[in-house]
Amino acid sequence: MGTHRRPKPPSRARIATLGVAAGAVSLLPTQSQAAPKPTVDEVRKQVELLYEEAEAPTEEYNGIAEKQKKLQREVDATQDRLARKQQEINELREKIGPLAAAQYRSGGIDPSVQLFLSSDPDEYLDKAQVLGRTSDRQAEALRALHSKQRELAQERADAAKRLKAIQETRAKAKEKKDEVQGKLAKARKLLNSLTAAQRAKMEADQKREDAAAGASDAPATYNGPASGRAKTAIEFAYAQLGKPYEWGSTGPNSYDCSGLTGSAWRAAGVSLPRTVKQQYDAGRKVAKSDLQPGDIIYWYNDDQHNGMYVGNGKAIHAPRTGKNVEIVPLDSMPFFAASRP
């Protein structure tokens, strides 16, 4: 059987020479390396896609931000309770008497203070009272002090958990915010790569498409069939026509989609949750054939995009970055569901 020989590895000098040669070749300008600049239409499609992709993380961000606010309120309330309990403990220490309080603070071994080292302080106090080691008043004060301290320790543990939860939600919110801003930054970069003339053409094309689809952001007064709260909500939404879409915004100068629907119904005295998904889950579902002005429309799915039905086959919504609050035909996007607040 013949000896199998490995091929001799190239010398370091040979590797260096090949590296230089490869580098030299890569530096030569070639036609294939110069990527063709995207056309205005290609840029517009890429920008539209990026804006669409930013919608889902925007709604996730809104949900996380709401959770963060709730946790912060809970933490604030807990800290208030902690302060009150600490004050109560301080007052109880004063009641116990200067000597017992001093021994307690210094870790003294007076029998009336040893209860804090006992596995069952209440049982110890009962025995101490029988043996006449501590007065009824002092025993009661010590028992109350011990109870308050246990409560304080539990409150502190709860506060620590909530603070940890806040830190986690902040990290998640930042992640979603970065995701949205990353997509919007890419879109801006693409738009900035166009010349002024190309940008003007793109805007003109967009306006033509919107007009053909029946979209309108011209300020108008609602004179449809709605009444009561639904009419108030629609009138509020109409007053926002032409205001820009801004992710994460609930007004008054700009809105995202669920920010507009929530603000409109809030103006009518109805409190809706923050996100598209939460609004979908909270509302009473209605069939497309039973739509009434004021109903909330969900397009695509239950957590991406929503608006408000205004009657006559039209809806008002905050579309996406770069566009304004507008009125569109109900079927300008794939209808998914509708709910009634």
- Among 305, 321, 330, 338, the active-site one is 305
Q: Is 102 exposed, middle or buried (0-12, 13-18, 19+ CB in 10 A)?
A: middle
| 305 among known catalytic residues | yes
What's the DSSP call for residue 290? G
Helix (H, G, I), strand (E, B) or coil at 105: helix
Structure tokens at 75: 């933490």
Closest to 272 in 3D by CA, of 299, 244, 236, 241: 236
| 150 among known catalytic residues | no
| 4 among known catalytic residues | no
Structure tokens at 196: 């002024």
Work out the widest C-alpha separation in the chain, in whole angstroms.
103
- Among 64, 65, 257, 315, the active-site one is 257
CA distances from residue 285 to 58, 101, 125, 237 in whole angstroms, order as listed: 24, 64, 62, 21
In what order do the strands lie in the sheet containing 296-299?
284-286, 335-340, 296-299, 305-311, 314-317, 326-329
- Among 162, 274, 317, 320, the active-site one is 317
Yes or no: say if 141 and 96 are a contact pair by the CB < 8 Å rule. yes
Residue 116 phi, psi (nearest 5): -70, -15
List CB contacts of 261: < 8 A, sequence separation 6 or more. 237, 272, 279, 296, 306, 307, 308
- Name the amino acid, one letter, at 196: A
Tallying the residues shown for the chain, one arrives at 341
Catalytic machinery residues: 257, 305, 317
